[in-house]
Amino acid sequence: MKNVVLVLLLAIACVAVRAADEPVYIDVRTWAEHKVSSIEGDPRIHVSEIVEGVTAQFPDKSTAIRFYCARGVRAQTAVQRLQAAGYTDVENAGGIDDVRQLRFPNSSR
């Protein structure tokens, strides 16, 4: 049991460690939208819970965070809410298709 816990903790730590110049991408769509189509590894925090969710997972307010939704409208709301909460490096990445094209330009996703 201890080995399982250790492996899980190491896996979580590896996922949490990102290159300093690589932003965190967060899907702010609904659970149902995320279930139909998502980008593996990206957390989903609904826009209505964005401040609480981001501050819990990414307490460093200088973390580079990019939000996306279906078209970019909810992502912009997330940006505004996080800026009001003191986050300094948050941007609207647009819709999920925009993010896929940006991050996986040679993929047929």
Give the containing element (helix H, strand E) for 70.
none
Task: Indicate the SS3 state at residue 74.
Answer: helix
Sheet containing strand 90-95, edge to edge, reads: 24-27, 65-69, 90-95
b/e sequence 54-63, b meaning 16+ C-beta within 10 Å? beeebeeeeb
As a 3-state breakdown, the chain gives helix, strand, coil percent values, each rounded to 5, of 50, 15, 40
Per residue in 49-107, pLDDT (tens digit) is: 999 999 999 999 999 999 999 999 999 999 999 999 999 999 999 999 999 999 999 87
Whole-prediction pTM value?
0.79
Active site residues per annotation: 69
Domain range annotation of the chain = 20-103
Please give the pLDDT value at position 11.
Answer: 43
The CATH architecture one would assign to domain 20-103 is 3-Layer(aba) Sandwich (3.40)
Predicted confidence (pLDDT) per residue in 87-97, tens digit: 999 999 999 99
